[in-house]
Chains A and B, each alone.
Chain A
Amino acid sequence: QQQVKQSPQSLIVQKGGISIINCAYENTAFDYFPWYQQFPGKGPALLIAIRPDVSEKKEGRFTISFNKSAKQFSLHIMDSQPGDSATYFCAARRKTSGSRLTFGEGTQLTVNP
C-alpha cells in the first residue's frame, strides 16, 4: 500500500517532442505528489508538485496531470530539450507532519538532439 509504481523505466524522445511519465499509487492517505529530477552525481531536485484537490498543474514546460479516482498522475514535458535528459522520480507523501517521501522506481529520460 505504500508503493508508488512508475513507468516507463526508460524513455527516449526527440528534441521538441513530448515526454510523458506515469505513476500510480494505492494509499489514499497520500496527499502530496511531487516530481523530482536527478542528474548524474547530484541529489534529487524538486521539479513540480500537486495536491489531489486539483487535476492539473503547469509550470513552464512541465505539467502534472492528476486523476484522483484512478489514483494516477503523470508528468508531461513539452518541447523536450537535451538538457532535460535526467532521471525523473515521482513521489507521494502523507499529510502527517514531517512524513516521508515514497518514491517511484524512476524513469531515465534521454532527449536526442
Chain B
Amino acid sequence: EPEVTQTPSHQVTQMGQEVILRCVPISNHLYFYWYRQILGQKVEFLVSFYNNEISEKSEIFDDQFSVERPDGSNFTLKIRSTKLEDSAMYFCASSEGGQVNQPQHFGDGTRLSIL
C-alpha cells in the first residue's frame, strides 16, 4: 500500500537555526498538508497546499514557516530561526483530491527537538 514518507525521523537543531523537514506524498495525490503535535497535545493544522500554492494556513503558520514543492515528488516545510517552542512532531499528509470525504493519509512524522 502506498504511503507518505517523511525524513528525517528525528532532527535535533540549535535554537535560531533553520530546519527543513521533507515529505514524499503518495504519488497520485494532489493535496498536501503539514500538521504538528506538541508532546501530549492534540494534532494541529499548519498549512495545506494545492497546485503549487498555499490554499489554507493556520494562525501558527507565520512568517517563520514556508512550504515548497521543489520537484514532482517532494514537499518540504522550512522553519527559519527556530525557537524552543517549535519542538514537536511534524506530520505530513496528502490526499488524492480536495473533497471533504477524501481521506488524508499521514506519514510517521519527524520529531523536531530544538536545543
Contact = CB atoms under 8 A, between A and B. Distances in A.
Interface in A43-59: 43-46, 49, 51
Given A43-B91, A44-B106, A98-B50, A103 B42 contact: yes
A100 B56 contact: yes
B42 A98 contact: no
A84 interface: no
19 contacts: A32-B100, A42-B108, A42-B109, A43-B91, A44-B91, A44-B106, A49-B103, A51-B101, A93-B100, A95-B100, A96-B56, A98-B98, A99-B56, A99-B98, A100-B33, A100-B48, A100-B56, A101-B104, A105-B42
Given A44-B43, A103-B43, A49 B108 contact: no
Contacts of B55: 97-98
Contacts of B33: 100-101
A95 B102 CA distance: 11
Interface of B: 4, 31, 33, 35, 41-45, 48, 50, 55-56, 58, 91, 93, 95, 98-101, 103-109
Nearest to A30: B100
Contacts of A44: 43, 91, 106
Contacts of B93: 43
A15 interface: no
B91 to A, nearest CB: 5
Contacts of A32: 100-101
Contacts of A51: 100-101
Contacts of A98: 31, 48, 50, 55-56, 95, 98
**Which of A31, A34, A44, A105 is packed against the most chain B CB atoms within 10 Å?**
A44
A45 B56 contact: no
Contacts of B100: 31-32, 51, 93-96, 99
B48 A106 contact: no
Contacts of A94: 100
B42 A97 contact: no
A102 interface: yes
Given A31-B100, A106-B42, A106-B43, 7 more contacts: A43-B4, A43-B109, A46-B105, A89-B42, A96-B100, A102-B45, A103-B43
